[in-house]
């Protein structure tokens, strides 16, 4: 499907809004699953790492990427926090 420049801009904007909403929902769920106190920092690190992948134009599966960073950085981010 070929889009015009305006339609392409609207599609890109809506795509980013949908991604941010999904990542925000994951952040809330993982923060709550970590009993808020222990889940806040790992969820924040995972959210920022997932967003960094999108900014670099990599489009990995969101849930798997978020879970990977959450598990990987759980101890270190809680130490930092």
The predicted pLDDT at position 78 comes to 87
Nearest of 28, 33, 27 to residue 50 by alpha carbon? 27
- CA dist., res. 61 & res. 57, Å (int): 13
The predicted pLDDT at position 32 comes to 93
Question: Domains of the chain: which residue ranges?
Answer: 5-80
CB atoms within 10 A of CB 38: 15
pLDDT tens, residue order, the chain (81 aa): 566 888 888 998 999 999 999 999 999 999 998 888 889 999 999 999 999 998 998 888 999 999 999 999 999 988 887
Q: Please, are residues 66 and 23 in contact by the beta-carbon 8 Å criterion?
A: yes
Q: Quick one: tokens of 58?
A: 């990599």
The predicted pLDDT at position 81 comes to 77
Prediction pTM value:
0.83
């Amino acid at each position: 499907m070929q889009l015009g420049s305006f339609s392409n801009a609207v599609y890109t904007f809506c795509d980013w809004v949908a991604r941010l909403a999904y990542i925000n929902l994951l952040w809330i769920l993982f923060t709550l699953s970590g009993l808020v106190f222990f889940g806040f920092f790992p969820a924040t690190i995972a959210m920022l790492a997932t967003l960094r992948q999108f900014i670099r134009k990599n489009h990995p599966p969101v849930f798997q990427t978020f879970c990977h960073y959450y598990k990987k950085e759980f101890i270190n981010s809680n130490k930092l926090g």
